[in-house]
Amino acid sequence: MTEFRIIAKTFQGLEEILAKELINLGANNVEIGRRMVSFTGDKEMLYKANFCTRTAIKVLKPIKEFKATDADEVYEVVKQIDWSEYMDVKNTILVDSVIFSDNFRHSKFVAYRVKDAIADYWREKTGDRPNVGISNPDLRINVHIAEDVVTISLDSSGESLHQRGYKTATVAAPINEVLAAGLILLTGWDGECDLIDPFCGSGTILIEAALIAQNVYPGVFRKEYAFEKWKDFDADLFDRIYNDDSQEREFEHKIYGYDINRQVVQIATENVQHAGVKDVVNVEQRDFYEFEQPLDKAIMITNPPYGDRITTDDIFDLYETIGSNLKKKFVGNDAWIITHHEQLFDKIGFRPSTKYALFNGSLECEFRHYQIFDGKLRDRREEGLDIKTEEDRRHNLKFKPHKKNEDGEWGDSKHTEDESHYFKSKPFKDRDRRGRGEEEDGAEKDREWGKDSRWKMLEAEDEEEAEIINRHLGRWGDRRVFAPREDARGGRGDRKGGFFDRSEGRGGRDRGDRRSDDRRGGFSRDDRRDDSSREERQDARKNFFGGKREGDRSERSDRRDGGRGDRREGFRGDRRPSRDGERSFGGDRRDRRDDYRPRRDGDRPARKFDGQSKGDRPFRGRRNNED
């Protein structure tokens, strides 16, 4: 069969994993891009890329690539494509577009123009036009624009490939199936030992791990693919791929999933049963605080709460417990944890041997590998044991947080002055406090050179690497430790039972001290103040700040009787005091009646109005001259 170009889309950070999958399936000319892998293959390879890969979310078949600067140019080129090769006039179509260009600001408008071009092609050819199908179209067309390069592709997948089809229910903030499979494949686990997920949620990691351990393709649960509606669909070829189970194997170990929520455990159990992996997956309700040392060697792959979409009573305490339990009850095993916040990793208290930058939805995360062992890292190195492999070192040296490039894609890029997000985060603060030393000739060049070297400092994974790189650079100077600033005033003290006890708070002139007893009292002034009057102190304060200077704004006068007056408690000198029982009003009332008399008990009740009488005449019943 004839080979053609195919593009498989994936998540940022999983490109290499997807490329390995495609090579194992027989793909040719594999090239890795941003969130995509390009390769060549025939129709069988296209079917396998959809049915067998675990980390692909879309598989596209490009049919036209050209350059354009506006939607009208796109319309003219798309209209010239021979669409009769791919569809009939009676088929329904759906066009989606992805744009990273300043020339095209509205992605839906481009999709509309492509749809119009296809409709006009058929109208001129047959006098009829295809309809748009929103829910289940016969042909899905993908438009990708990067700057001025436009690629028109046929979507062979249909719905995203992360929708496996084995879930009957889900929970809040579930992990994506493609991401879950990617995490497992990044660890290198292939079913050689037990696997534990102490925060299993709906069981996504458990099920994906069971499929990987038994080498069951994820497509077996899928009901249909978009390529099944194509004109050249080969049903016999796809049936052979679907029914081929020669690659499946037995799994001799167990997969354990735990969660504290009983309803979540029930949902995970139902999903495990529906996926047909209940023989190798065991789900229980258990708090992570009750975690016990596994009897056999195991690996932990988990996605604990981040504190963003799912809140806990104390997220930091949870991650401290994770680190404590790993150190005490998971010795001799490996733990892989993905989370969003750097501060949460700090609470675990371990130095990772490997870390990957990934995205969980829109959240930028890191996936870190911890090797749990007895003793200290220094003692382990003295014995000739190192927790890092050469592959780990190579990966960590090229590891960088992701940043959007100019074309809008997420990818690696050099540090810029505006990229303060990473350098202001907690783990990088201390490393930033390095002196540059005296400026010499070529200082501007040194600053530019230091931008790239700073990344290397941040990428160093242990003290030895940091020391080597720092010695090699030699331009940042030694780390300076700043002594606390001396203050003539008294110490701030600590709170009662905590970090700041204000019962021994810092005193001072005119500052006062809070009451040290348990009663909630007011703020009392210190008796050690001078006998100067309030006006004298205000004059002294004005003199301290320089008094009134030239150019200062003049005092604002009132709009009416000249001057604002004293507004405290709603009182103004240009209006009468409020009457008893009424709330004071802070400003003038226009057209106010000074002869107003408060209502008394003997006054006539309010007039009734029936909606028909005219004027201010009170309603007294039926008029005599009316029928």
Using 50, 70 and 90 to split pLDDT, how confident is the model at 537? low
> Which segments of the chain belong to CATH 3.40.50.150?
177-220+245-395
Residue 107 has pLDDT above 60, yes or no: yes
Using 50, 70 and 90 to split pLDDT, how confident is the model at 342? confident
- 150: Cβ–Cβ under 8 A, 6 or more apart, which residues? 65, 66, 67, 68, 74, 77, 143, 144
Looking at residue 480, its pLDDT comes to 37
Residue 582: HSE in the Cβ half-sphere, 13 Å Cα cutoff:
9
What pairs with residue 94 in β-bridges? Answer: 140
Classify 557 in phi/psi space as left (phi over 0), alpha (psi -120 to 50) or beta. beta
Looking at residue 524, its pLDDT comes to 42
Percent pLDDT > 70 in the chain is: 59
Using 50, 70 and 90 to split pLDDT, how confident is the model at 310? low
Looking at residue 169, its pLDDT comes to 81
How is domain 177-220+245-395 classified at the CATH fold level? Rossmann fold (3.40.50)
Residue 32 in tokens: 């890795």
SS3 522: coil
Residue 17 in tokens: 């994993």
Looking at residue 234, its pLDDT comes to 95
Torsion of CA 444, 448, 453, 455, to 10 degrees: 140
CA-based nearest residue to 208, from 225, 187, 238, 227: 187
Phi then psi dihedrals of residue 314, to 5 deg: -150, 95
pLDDT in tens, 137-157: 999 999 999 999 999 999 999
Percent pLDDT > 90 in the chain is: 46
Q: Give the strands of the sheet with 298-302, arranged side by side.
A: 281-285, 255-259, 194-197, 298-302, 334-339, 363-371, 354-360
Q: Report the residue count for the chain.
A: 627
Residue 361 in tokens: 């939805």
Q: Is the Cβ–Cβ distance between 319 and 348 less than 8 Å?
A: yes
Residue 197 has pLDDT above 80, yes or no: yes
Q: Is domain 4-155 classified as CATH 3.40.50.300?
A: no
Q: Is the Cβ–Cβ distance between 201 and 278 less than 8 Å?
A: no
Looking at residue 379, its pLDDT comes to 53
Q: How far apart are CA 610 and CA 181, in angstroms?
A: 74
Average pLDDT over residues 151-168: 94
Q: How far apart are CA 41 and CA 61, in angstroms?
A: 10
CA-based nearest residue to 340, from 363, 310, 356, 311: 363
**Secondary structure letter of residue 206 according to DSSP:** H
461-468, long-range: CB within 8 Å, 24+ apart, which pairs? 461/351, 461/352, 461/353, 461/388, 461/393, 461/396, 462/351, 462/377, 462/388
**Residue 519: exposure state from Cβ atoms within 10 A (0-12, 13-18, ≥19):** exposed
> Which segments of the chain belong to CATH 3.30.2130.30?
4-155
Phi then psi dihedrals of residue 47, to 5 deg: -65, -40
Q: How far apart are CA 169 and CA 554, in angstroms?
A: 68
Apex 368 CA angle, 363 and 372, nearest 5: 150
Q: Which of 1-10, 104-113, 347-356, 404-413 has the lowest mean pLDDT?
A: 404-413
Mean pLDDT (the chain) is 74
Using 50, 70 and 90 to split pLDDT, how confident is the model at 292? confident
Q: How far apart are CA 501 and CA 508, in angstroms?
A: 17
**Residue 186: exposure state from Cβ atoms within 10 A (0-12, 13-18, ≥19):** buried
Residue 471 has pLDDT above 80, yes or no: no
pLDDT in tens, 118-141: 999 999 999 999 999 888 899 999
Residue 485 has pLDDT above 70, yes or no: no
User: Which of 87-101, 543-557, 600-614: highest mean pLDDT?
Assistant: 87-101
Looking at residue 361, its pLDDT comes to 86
